[in-house]
Amino acid sequence: MSRFLQFHYLTIYPLSNPNRDDQGRPKSASYGGVPRLRISSQAIKRAARISEVMQDDLKGHLGDRTQRIGEVIRDALKADGAAEGKATEIAEKITDVFGKIDETAKKDGKIRTRQLAFISPEERDTALELARTAAAGEDLPDIKQLKKTVLRTADGAADVAMFGRMLADDPDFNREAAVQVSHALTTHRALVEDDFYTAVDDLKRPSEDAGAGFVGEAGFGSGVFYTYACVDVELLKENLGGDVMLAATAAGALAEALAVSTPSGKRNSFAHQTRASFVLAEKGDDQPRSLAGAFFKPITGEGPLEPSVTALMELATNMDKAYDLSGQAREIMDVNNGIGTIAAIKAYAKSAVTDD
C-alpha cells in the first residue's frame, strides 16, 4: 500500500460557465500576475459525488448532504401510520442529533437543520430505526445518548470518508477529509467574455413592435484547466472502518469521476460535456506536491494543451530529481497521443490501496 495517491488532470472546457460567481459570471483568479478562469473545488467535488461513476461504483456507500433529515424521518413515520403531531415530535428530537433546528423553517411546518449535515447511510438507518421504536411507544434516550447511538466516526460512507464533514456542535464526530481537491485553474491567460442574447415572443404579431420579448447578458469563458487531487490512503481506510476493498473501490471511482464529471452550471446553454485530455496518476510514500507551479508562468501561443502537458511533465520530472522522489510511481493517460486508458488509471488508483 502507498501512503499517498495523487492525480493531475488537464481538461479542455469549451465556451462555458460551469461555476458562477455571485454576479453569475465564471469564477476567476489572478495567478502569476495573470487573469485565469477558475472552477471551485466545492463544485468539482459535488460533480464527482453525483456522477454516474460514483453512483454506480459506490451504490449503497454514499451519504446525503442535507438539511432535511427531519422531514425524511417525519414522512417515514407518517407513511407507517403515525399521527402528524407524533411524527413531528419524534422527528424534531432526532433531527437535533445532526444539528440545531432552523426555527424560521419550523414556523412553516418544515423540519430543517440550520446547516447542511453530511449523513452516512448507516447513521440515517439508525435514526429511522430509533424513530420507529419511539413511534411504537418506547422512550427516546436523552440527546447526549442519542448522538452516541446515531453518529459514527467511521463507517461505510465513501464520500464522507473522502471529503470529510464538520459537525459544529459535535466535533468528536467530525471526519477529516482523506481527499484534497484543488480549485481548477486555466494553465494560460483567460478572460471572461460576454454574450448578449435575445429571446423572441412566438406569439407576437407582425403589426406590433419588432423588439425582442427578452434581452439578457451572460458571461462565459474557455480554456485548459489544471486540477490536482491527493488521497491520504491510510486515512481513507481509517474513515471506512478498515474496509480495504471499499477504500480501493472509492479511490478508483474518484480517479474516473474527476476525469469525466463537470459542474453543471449553464450546461443547457453551453453543452460543456467534456472529459480530461491528460491524466497523471502517482502513488508513493513521499510528501505529496501539486504541480500547479508548472503554470505560474502562463502557457502562451495557440493550442495550449500540448505545451501544458509538456510543462506539467517537465516540472514533475525535475521536482522528483531535485527532491530525490525516486519512490514515486506513475500512470499516464494522454488522449491526444493515444497513450493509456481511464481503465488503467482506475486500476492503478485501486492498487495504491491494495498493494502491500
Residues 339 and 341: their CA atoms lie apart, in Å, by 7
Residue 27 reports pLDDT greater than 70: yes
For the chain, give the percent of residues with pLDDT over 90.
88
Confidence of residue 16 (pLDDT cuts 50, 70, 90): very high
Over 70: is that where the pLDDT of 149 sits?
yes
* Digit-coded pLDDT (tens) for 126-139: 999 999 999 999 99
Q: What is the arithmetic mean of pLDDT over 347-356? A: 93
The per-residue pLDDT for range 198-220, each reduced to its tens digit, is 888 888 887 777 778 888 888 99
In Å, how far from its chain's centre is CA 275?
A: 16
Reported in sequence order, the residue ranges of the chain that DSSP labels E, i.e. its strands, are: 4-16, 28-31, 34-39, 64-66, 117-119, 179-181, 184-186, 193-199, 214-232, 276-284, 329-334
Q: 113-136: string of b/e by CB count within 10 Å (b at 16+)?
A: beeebbbbbbbbebbbebbbebbe
What is the reported pLDDT for 207? 77
pLDDT digits 0-9 by tens, 69-117: 999 999 999 999 999 999 999 999 999 999 999 999 988 899 999 999 9
Q: Are 246 and 240 in contact (CB under 8 A)?
A: yes
Q: Which residue has the higher pLDDT, 200 or 147?
A: 147
Mean pLDDT, residues 190-199 taken together: 90
Average pLDDT, the chain: 95
Instruction: Phi first, then psi: give them for residue 341, nearest 5 degrees.
Output: -140, 160
Question: What per-residue confidence (pLDDT) applies to 327?
Answer: 65
| 294-317: average pLDDT | 97
**Spatial CB neighbours of 227, under 8 Å, sequence gap ≥ 6:** 7, 8, 9, 11, 39, 44, 181, 182, 184, 258
Can you give the pLDDT at residue 300?
A: 96
pLDDT in tens, 34-48: 999 999 999 999 999
Task: Answer whether residue 1 shows pLDDT above 90.
Answer: no
Q: What is the pLDDT of residues 337-348, one digit of tens each?
A: 999 999 999 999
Query: Which of the four pLDDT bands, split at 50, 70 and 90, describes residue 356?
Result: low
Query: 26 burial class (0-12, 13-18, 19+ CB within 10 angstroms)?
Result: buried
**Amino acid of residue 287:** Q
Percent of the chain having pLDDT more than 70? 99
Which of the four pLDDT bands, split at 50, 70 and 90, describes residue 325? confident
